[in-house]
Amino acid sequence: KNARLTLDPAFEIAPVSRRLFGSFVEHMGRCVYTGIFEPGHPRADEHGFRTDVLELTREMGVSVVRYPGGNFVSGYRWEDGVGPDRPTRLDLAWRQIETNRFGLNEFMAWTRTAGVEPMMAVNLGTRGIQEACDLLEYANHPSGTHWSDLRVKHGVAEPYGIKLWCLGNEMDGPWQIGHKTADEYGRLANETARAMRMVDPGVELVLCGSSNSHMPTFGAWEATVLEHAYDAVDYLSLHAYYEENGDLDSFLAAAVDMDRFISSVIATADHVRAKLRRSKSIKLSFDEWNVWNQSRYEGREQGDFEESPELIEDTFTAADAVVVGDFLITLLRHADRVSVACQAQLANIIAPIRTSPGGPAWRQTIFHPFALTARHARGTVLRVEPRSPLLDTSRYGEAAQLSAVATVDEEGVTVIAVNRSAHEELDLIADLRSIGPLHVAETHLLAAGDDPHATDAAVVPLANVRLDGGELRALLPAASWSLIRLT
Ligand code: AHR
């Protein structure tokens, strides 16, 4: 079987936003404590940051990091995490003991060392407008007021100028502390956004969409919260996690669902735009996405409170990596509307980077497609007009066997492709006649066909890539992710 693409520099979708290569650090399990932060570890720096994890974060090409939650933020008092007095608290979201040894200033110092942009979330579960404004004043106001002077007293003379702020987290979810109806949340988010802009007009604000597209209120929630807060916000959030759960054929096509989810949210946001007669378009922030074997997770509604418990430390497989690669293709294909995306989470919690306390840090399979896409997808995303055989999946219905995207930059072209069939290879034929003379500079392949559940899947060169007379041909193995760089 074969599938065809056409690459033409005139078919532009949008510039590649670096913010699509975001990640997420939540005070959950061992993401912060013994993940990115472990004073006394042999590789810890003077702040207690694990330099092995910092190196891997940079290697991965992470651009934005969302913090401090997640469900955690909906019960969080940010003041506990700044200054010399750090009270120990119960975290009700994950039944943890939170020591608050790591807080805003530690996170900001970590982001600077990692070379990433911070994306903060405010608590709209147990708290509201005032605390969000206080936090923003502490972080972004130069000096001469109570909160900004407190930051200066805490040793940070210059304001941080944090741009991206999430207005709460998953407020539609009944599990959320301070869960709200769409009307309750929409009003609160709108008023919080208006007040935050009075403190700092330069902020970019993210309104909570649904926790996932299977929520009973999905669609209606988006429409209602946007009707309340359309003018006050810049982005609407999306969250989605996928798992194999005994159906590899469907799982390999999971990005079809992500694609439909994005299209549905765009349609809903544009419906509200029409209804309100506005010209501004709402952008999307896909600020939690990943593979997560959620059916194996038993929840933490009961049991003892623990300090940095081992939570959802999933070990990823070759198939997971192929699917993660396909999610990145999907996000890039929607780069005209999806401006921010965060893989959840960075360390230990369903993460590309795992650590052992006192011991090493290592890359999981899903690390590789992320790192290679972040490195090579540059410049402008192109619409590639794929023509592909179809697969029939029990979970997602009809799915194109080929998922692909291309980017073009000043030095060359990157083609990224996934063959979603678990069983059949696919001949990829790309028409490059409009692009000009190029040669194959490097190729990368992560194939899951032989052993989809291998946890040590490696990236190898993609063999037999040919470029002849403006036609690129490559044989994509079953269940594989490939990247071809042409210069
Ligand atoms: O990333 C893990 C959790 O998943 C987050 O805390 C929450 O927002 C989502 O449900």
Ligand 1 atom at shortest distance from the alpha carbon of 211: 10
pLDDT tier, 303 (very low <50, low <70, confident <90, very high otherwise): confident
391-422 pLDDT tens trace = 999 999 999 999 999 999 999 999 999 999 99
What is the Cα–Cα distance from 369 to 242, expressed in whole angstroms?
17
Please tell me if the CB atom of residue 26 comes closer than 6 angstroms to any atom of ligand 1.
yes
Q: What is the mean pLDDT of residues 38-62?
A: 98
Q: What is the DSSP string of 406-468?
A: EEE-SS-EEEEEEE--SS--EEEEEE-TTT-S--EEEEEEEE-SS-TT-SS---B--S--EEE
Whether 366 has a pLDDT exceeding 80, the answer reads yes
Please tell me if the CB atom of residue 74 comes closer than 6 angstroms to any atom of ligand 1.
no
pLDDT tier, 469 (very low <50, low <70, confident <90, very high otherwise): confident
The CATH number of the structural domain formed by 17-376 is: 3.20.20.80
Cross-strand partners of 5: 430
Quick check: is 26 catalytic?
no
Ligand 1 atom at shortest distance from the alpha carbon of 170: 8
pLDDT tier, 449 (very low <50, low <70, confident <90, very high otherwise): confident
251-274 pLDDT tens trace = 999 999 999 999 999 999 999 999
- Degrees to nearest 5, angle at CA 460 with 293 and 324: 25
Q: What is the mean pLDDT of residues 287-294?
A: 96
Q: What is the mean pLDDT of residues 379-390?
A: 97
Do the interacting molecules here have an ipTM over 0.95? yes
Ligand 1 centroid to residue 108 C-alpha, Å:
21
Please tell me if the CB atom of residue 71 comes closer than 6 angstroms to any atom of ligand 1.
yes
Domain map of the chain by residue range? 17-376, 382-486
Residue 240 confidence (pLDDT): 98
Ligand 1 centroid to residue 459 C-alpha, Å:
29
Fold assignment, 382-486 = Immunoglobulin-like (2.60.40)
Q: What is the mean pLDDT of residues 279-286?
A: 98
Please tell me if the CB atom of residue 106 comes closer than 6 angstroms to any atom of ligand 1.
no
Within this chain, domains 17-376 and 382-486 share the same CATH topology: no
Whether 299 has a pLDDT exceeding 80, the answer reads no
Whether 436 has a pLDDT exceeding 90, the answer reads no
Q: What is the mean pLDDT of residues 140-168?
A: 98
Sequence-ordered list of residues with C-beta below 8 angstroms from that of 325, at least 6 positions apart, any chain: 369, 373, 416, 418, 446, 481
More confident residue, 294 or 220: 220
Q: Is the pTM value of this prediction over 0.90?
A: yes
Beta-sheet strand order (sheet of 402-408): 12-15, 380-382, 402-408, 413-419, 480-486, 440-447
Please tell me if the CB atom of residue 259 comes closer than 6 angstroms to any atom of ligand 1.
no
Residue 297 confidence (pLDDT): 77
pLDDT more than 90, % of the chain: 97
Name the DSSP letter for residue 196: H
Ligand 1 atom at shortest distance from the alpha carbon of 71: 6
Give the number of C-alpha atoms closer than 13 A to the C-alpha of residue 463, restricted to the C-beta side. 2
Ligand 1 centroid to residue 200 C-alpha, Å:
28
Ligand 1 atom at shortest distance from the alpha carbon of 72: 6
Residue 15 confidence (pLDDT): 98
Q: Take residue 432 and report the two structure tokens written for it.
A: 């490059």
Q: Whose CA is nearest to atom 9 of ligand 1?
A: 70
Q: Take residue 125 and report the two structure tokens written for it.
A: 């579960």
Whether 332 has a pLDDT exceeding 90, the answer reads yes
Q: What is the mean pLDDT of residues 25-37?
A: 98
Name the DSSP letter for residue 150: H
Whether 302 has a pLDDT exceeding 90, the answer reads no
Q: Take residue 242 and report the two structure tokens written for it.
A: 């996928």
Question: Which segments of 123-221 are extended strands (E)?
Answer: 164-167, 204-207
Please tell me if the CB atom of residue 29 comes closer than 6 angstroms to any atom of ligand 1.
no
pLDDT more than 70, % of the chain: 100
Ligand 1 centroid to residue 70 C-alpha, Å:
5
Residue 134 confidence (pLDDT): 98
Mean pLDDT of the chain: 97
Q: Could you give the residue ranges of the DSSP H alpha helices within 91-181?
A: 104-114, 129-140, 146-153
Whether 151 has a pLDDT exceeding 80, the answer reads yes
* DSSP three-state, residue 371: helix
CB atoms within 10 A of CB 150: 16
Cβ(310)–Cβ(435) under 8 Å? no
